[in-house]
Each structure stands twice: as C-alpha cells, then as structure tokens.
Amino acid sequence: MKMTDHLRIAINSTAYYLLSYLFVFIFHQVATIIAAGFFEFHVEVDYSRIIFMISRYEWDFDSVKIIFSAGPVAVLILSIVMIVFAYRYNEYVGSLKLFFLWGFVHCISIVLGSAYAGALLGEGFGHVLLWMYMADTAKLIISLISLFLLAATGYSVARMFLLSANIYYKLLSVENRLSFVIAQVILPFILGSFCILALRLPLNLYEIIRILTPLIVVLMVLLSSFGYSVFYFDENPRTIKINGSLVAIALIVYSLYRIALLSPIYI
C-alpha cells in the first residue's frame, strides 16, 4: 500500500473520530445539564466544561449522585445504540459505520475513563465516590476493573475494525494488515486526540485522561489484529481516496463548536 493511500485512509478515519467524539461529548454535556435542571441549578457552559453557578453548600448527596453520574449513564446507553449500528452495518462497504464504531469507542472511553480517572483524582464522577465515602482500596479496584474493561473493549472491536478494510480493499492480507491498522486506527487516534486537546484547551488532568483513554482500546486493537488470518471481501473494484465532503463536515462542525461556545452560555 502506498504512503499516499495510508494518508487518505487516516484522514477519512480521523474525520469520523472527531465527529463521533463531538457527538458523544455533546450528548454527555446535555445529559449533565438536564440533570442539573432537575435541581434548578444554573450552569455556565463553554467549549470545554460546565460550571455550576451555585455555592458549595447547596450540594447534597442526591444532587452530586445524579448530576455527576447522568453523563456517564446516558453515554453508556448511547454506546449500546452505537455498537448495534456498527455491528449491523459492519459488512457493508460504506464508511459511515466508522462513525458508529468510533462512537462506541468514545462512549466506552468516557464511561470507563470517568470511573478510573474520577476514582484516582476525585474529579467528575469521582465526586460521587467521595460522597459515598468509598475507601481508597475500593477506588483502586474500580480503576483496575475499568482498565481491564477498556482492554476487553479493544479486543472485542478489533475484528470490526479489520472488517472495515472492505471500504478500501477486496481482501485484507496478513502482509498489509499492520499498515492498515496503523492508518485506520492508530493514526486517527493520534491526530484526533491532538485536535480534541487543541479544541478544548485549557484542560485539567481529569479531562486529559478521559480524552486519551481510547489509547488503551486502540492498542488492544493493534495487538489483537495479529491473531486473525486473511479477510476476503468481494470482487467489486475500490478506490482509496479522501472523502472531501466528510472532511469538510468535520472541519465545519469542529470550527462551529469552538466558535459557538467561545463565549460562555448561561442556562
């Protein structure tokens, strides 16, 4: 496979990586804002975070539990939808399945990243654990279980990422498998994470960890890919090219998100 083909595949996959992240992240934020509305808490929202416009004395266990768990729970439900669509259309040649596949990865990364980063740092979902007066040993167990489940997720979706080679190839051989995984999975994670970090700066350590959590999944996809043999698809001709419309949509959505939330919105 030519280097230019690698680049085209990586660009297309990165566009889906960014679009799916923004969709999942906005879904997470909306769920959190709705939960805050149940307690009549006013919030300030910008491109990076939600600030609750209340004093520390207005918090109680119910509000902490519901507000800081609403986002992860909503995203967990969304992950089911994402993986169902990704699995349903996995054997189709169209590239839209990558939106759902990357969306599933982002959903699981946000849920489990919130769990282990929150347990370690006491931020975000970690506030729920703090209000439960959970022991440090229990927090460590939650972190380890979360990391294990992230690795298991990578193992479970490895075959689906390999099958996505049918977008570009008639077959995925042993010889070009590694180069394809790098182009379709590894490079999009690196490029996409850089773009997301740049979009949401400044960030605290908790959010940085959540953004980089897919690293565990993509590494497991890479390692698991060596255990498969040749994938045969069909004989229909393919061309490897950049999806200009997709890239344009990703750039527009990326820019509009930052511009629209550059000034905080009060709700």
> Does the structure show a pLDDT above 60 at 1?
no
Report the DSSP beta bridge partners of residue 232: 171
Range 204-228 average pLDDT = 90
Q: Is 35 exposed, middle or buried (0-12, 13-18, 19+ CB in 10 A)?
A: buried
Q: How is residue 99 written in tokens? A: 């939106």
Range 88-110 average pLDDT = 90
Q: How many CA atoms lie within 13 A of 164 on its CB side?
A: 28
- Residue-wise pLDDT tens digits, 138-180: 888 888 999 999 999 999 999 999 989 888 888 788 788 888 9
Where does 124-170 have alpha helices with state H?
Answer: 126-131, 136-163
pTM for this structure? Answer: 0.93
Look at the chain and report how many structural domains it folds into. Answer: 1
> Does the structure show a pLDDT above 90 at 103?
yes
Q: Helix, strand, or coil here: 113?
A: helix
- Residue-wise pLDDT tens digits, 22-80: 999 999 999 999 998 888 888 888 888 888 888 777 788 888 888 888 999 999 999 99
| For the ranges 11-20, 160-169, 220-229, the one whose mean pLDDT is highest | 11-20
- Cα–Cα distance for residue pair 115/128, rounded to 1 Å: 10
pLDDT band at 101 (very low <50, low <70, confident <90, very high): very high
Q: How is residue 126 written in tokens? A: 């970690």
Q: Percentage of residues in the chain with pLDDT exceeding 90?
A: 46
First to last CA, the chain: 51
Phi then psi for residue 95, to 5 deg, are: -90, -10
Report the DSSP beta bridge partners of residue 43: 52
Contact 216, 150 (CB under 8 A): yes
Q: Percentage of residues in the chain with pLDDT exceeding 70?
A: 99
Q: Whole domain around residue 220: which residue ranges?
A: 3-266
> Does the structure show a pLDDT above 80 at 237?
no
pLDDT at residue 2, as a whole number: 65
